[in-house]
A and B are shown apart, each in its own frame.
Chain A
Amino acid sequence: MSLYEWLLFLHVLAAFALVGGVVAYGVVVLAGGGDVVRRTLAVPALALWNAGGVGVLVLGIWLAIDAYEVWDAWILAAIVLWFIASAAGGPLSRDVREDKALDLGAARVRFAVMALATALLLVDMIFKPGA
């Protein structure tokens, strides 16, 4: 395998982990199940979200340097979407980990933002507008 193929494989794997984190947070805030589900999923969701988020960003920029230009419009859009997803996902992951009762309304808004930004990231990665 070439370096590009390794980077692409690990980048896509990180994206799968990122979506795994989104799904786990979705189960916590949407599926019910109460504290037992929240306690069970809090750490795996955080691990997937963080490892996936760091992986897609670092490996994505590496790929961009190797195969594209970092200032391409679709890559800049991806970085903006990554920050939007992180801005919503960070507070959500903190709230899910804390012992106090979860404000479900706020948690669902944050989840919607992180899920939408992540979905748009996928669309941006495949359509590559402006490439």
Chain B
Amino acid sequence: MQNNNILAVENINFRYRQKKILDDVCFSIHRGDICGLLGPNGSGKTTLLKCINRILNNENGSIRINGRDIAGLSRAEIAGLIAVVPQELNIMFPFTVLQMVLMGGNRRFGFSGIPGRKDCSDAMETLEELNIDNLAERRYNQLSGGEKQMALIARALFQRAEIMLLDEPISHLDFKRQYTIMELIKKITADKDLTTVITLHDPNIAGRYCNRLIMLNDGRIVHQGLRNNIFHAESLEGIYDMKIKIEYTNTGMEYVLPHHIQ
């Protein structure tokens, strides 16, 4: 039987100044998954993403992508497997959106790393795919929050990695743009045959867009599995330390509320 795991995290720990941030974290993700990482602030979500991308080095255990331990890979090889969309990127120098997107292709640009004409037209195509080619010559610093996230997603797409890690990509966006960005993530994950790991604060968004969930609390995984198996009030109460209820709309859609809200 073919193993469909693209990412396997096996028993990793991470400590910062004696404080355990990740404690024996172990999970696997299938190709094509949109996997939501849920948990309160400080539960280790961002640290876990940084370990997967080897920005931080886990103490023990292993992180395997397509069966290869990333500890033995170069930065360029990891960049070929994993692209990252940060929560918010503020930069000192005002690069244009096209220049930002081009940076995603760095690992393909050879020894000196200078993009050619073809690379520029490919980057423009990526912007066109996301319908943001009108932003190409705009300065990244001057974009709205939603436009910045779109630009960063375009950059991740141009990186042409198999896995996309997104660290709270919608936490500072308005209501409409949260859904715009999540719809886009869902679409490109399917269209581009990607696997997406995304940290989220809103369980409603996670429940709507993720087919797999990992719930973290205090550095430990408390629940994990397919969304339909673990998305219930008890599991959410376990990570947020509050009474939670799940109600249903007329169309049968679930929505999560704190228990005391009528």
- Do the two chains belong together in a single complex? no
